[in-house]
């Protein structure tokens, strides 16, 4: 499925086969949590160079409901995206809707047990419970191409005791997911892929234990989760160095939720194939724009982190700046509009600002992946 090329021994270039077609690695998945990449049409996302997107089990289960999506023929049809879709399992919401959210918003968070997770829907307060089997069911109903097992993503910092517990639970849940998945899928020739998620916080033995037990399950691919949750950057690199050698060469590796461009570059160089992150779209909506910095290709080839910079287009200094956003970019925004115009759109809260910023930042990320993949 995957082969490695180039001088850099760890860096890999290959393809992943899914029901909805092949995807070239390394790749970045724009995030369509609720069945839409915010502010963009699927056609636009595709034209920016995205080959695969990510949807979320938890959100789509609550709204509009996986049954409805199944009824109309799956998420692809429902949202009019005919490329591959990876669905996250809902495990991350255990983390993101957890204790911190409770503190901050005064809402009930989540209750974890060996059986599964009990959530309270933040929008209407309704109690919902998620189990490994339910997560698989939902993802199958959505028609996902790459299904993630339900995992427990602990916050940072996390005591070793808690991290150990979460690894054990994540492994146990992965076993249940696999069992249930194949019970449902049977021997179908064309079936979704099922990925495991390595946890273990910043503890070497736990990370390794997690990776080994998941690898023994012989899943279709492996993700590394529980990173970029507040730990020091060096720790994240350590995690990759501990885990990656234990993962099978021929199977895809997915670094969940990452990241900043230089983090992605570093991770690709260490042997990661798949990424997803809200940064380009969310930060774009907040006015942060990613810009290429000169000879980006050679800089990336030389692993230099200064191949890009960011600006906050809201800053006053751009008020009268009639120059293009990024003269090294040929996206719709950069071809047609000035910095002053984009700033004006943000300042006056014109929705077009969000679209243009999302288009540009996603193009930046997707172009980065092309360069990293030698495409």
Partner RNA sequence: GGGUCGGUGGCAGAGUGGUCAAUUGCACCUGACUGUAAAUCAGGCGGCUUCGGCCUACGGCGGUUCAAAUCCGUCCCGGCCCA
Could you give the residue numbers annotated as active site? 88, 276
Contacts 24+ apart (CB under 8 A), 69-76: 69/35, 69/141, 69/142, 69/143, 70/141, 70/142, 70/143, 73/143, 74/141, 74/142, 74/143, 75/35, 75/142, 75/143, 75/144, 76/20, 76/143
Told to check if 41 binds RNA by CB under 7 A, we report no
Told to check if 91 binds RNA by CB under 7 A, we report yes
The nearest distance, CB 285 to RNA, in angstroms, is 4
Site residues for RNA, 139-168, by CB under 7 A, read 148, 151, 153
The nearest distance, CB 288 to RNA, in angstroms, is 4
Total number of residues binding RNA (CB under 7 A)? 58
Instruction: Please list the residues that pair with 17 across neighbouring strands.
Output: 22
The nearest distance, CB 233 to RNA, in angstroms, is 7
C-alpha 264/C-alpha 74 separation (Å) is: 31
What does the DSSP assignment read for 271-321? T--EEE-SIIIIIHHTTEEEEE-SSHHHHHHTT-GGGEEEEETTSGGGTT-
**Residues for the chain: how many in total?**
375
Residues 6+ apart with CB under 8 A from 13: 2, 3, 4, 5, 6, 24, 25, 26, 373, 374
Told to check if 314 binds RNA by CB under 7 A, we report yes
Contact segment (CB under 7 A) with RNA among 29-37, 63-71, 156-164, 321-329 equals 29-37
Told to check if 37 binds RNA by CB under 7 A, we report yes
Closest to RNA by CB, 102 vs 220, is: 102
Contact segment (CB under 7 A) with RNA among 185-193, 206-214, 254-262, 290-298 equals 254-262
Told to check if 63 binds RNA by CB under 7 A, we report no
Helix (H) or strand (E) holding 198: strand 193-198
Told to check if 317 binds RNA by CB under 7 A, we report yes
Told to check if 124 binds RNA by CB under 7 A, we report no
Q: Which residues bind RNA (CB under 7 A)?
A: 31, 33, 37-38, 54, 56, 59, 88-89, 91-93, 95-97, 101-102, 104-105, 107, 122-123, 148, 151, 153, 197, 223, 225-226, 228, 233, 256-260, 263, 276-279, 281-283, 285-288, 312, 314-317, 319, 347, 349, 351, 354
């Amino acid at each position: 499925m995957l082969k490695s090329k180039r001088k850099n021994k760890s860096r890999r270039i290959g393809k992943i086969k899914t029901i909805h077609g092949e995807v070239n690695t390394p790749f970045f998945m724009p995030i369509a949590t609720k069945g839409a990449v915010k502010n963009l049409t699927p056609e636009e996302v595709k034209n920016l160079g995205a080959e695969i997107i990510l949807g979320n089990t938890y959100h789509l289960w609550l709204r509009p409901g996986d049954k409805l999506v199944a009824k109309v023929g799956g998420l692809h049809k429902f949202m009019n995206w005919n490329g591959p879709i990876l669905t996250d399992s809902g495990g991350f919401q255990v983390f993101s809707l957890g204790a911190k959210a409770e503190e901050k918003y005064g809402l009930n968070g989540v209750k974890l047990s060996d059986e599964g997770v009990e959530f309270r829907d933040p929008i209407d307060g309704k109690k919902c419970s998620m189990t490994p089997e339910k997560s698989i069911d939902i993802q199958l109903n959505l028609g996902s191409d790459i299904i993630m097992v339900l995992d427990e993503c602990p916050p940072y910092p996390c005591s070793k005791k808690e991290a150990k517990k979460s690894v054990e639970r994540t492994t146990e849940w992965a076993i249940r997911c696999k069992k249930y998945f194949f019970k449902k899928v049977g021997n179908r020739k064309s079936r979704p892929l099922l990925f495991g998620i390595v946890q273990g916080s910043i503890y070497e033995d736990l990370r390794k234990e997690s990776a080994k037990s998941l690898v023994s399950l012989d899943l279709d691919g492996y993700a590394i989760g529980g990173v970029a949750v507040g730990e020091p950057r060096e720790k994240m690199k350590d995690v990759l160095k501990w885990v990656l050698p234990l993962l099978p060469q021929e199977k895809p590796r997915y670094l969940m939720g990452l990241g900043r461009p230089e983090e992605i570059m570093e991770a690709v160089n260490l042997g990661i194939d798949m990424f997803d992150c809200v940064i380009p779209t969310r930060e774009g909506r907040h006015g942060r724009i990613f810009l290429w910095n000169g000879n980006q290709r050679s800089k990336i080839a030389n692993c230099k982190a200064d191949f890009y910079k960011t600006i906050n287009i809201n800053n006053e200094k751009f008020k009268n700046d009639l120059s293009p956003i990024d003269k090294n970019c040929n996206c719709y925004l950069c071809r047609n509009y000035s910095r002053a115009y984009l700033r004006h759109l943000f300042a006056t809260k014109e929705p077009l600002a969000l679209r243009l910023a999302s288009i540009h930042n996603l193009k930046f990320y997707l172009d980065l992946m092309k360069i990293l993949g030698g495409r």
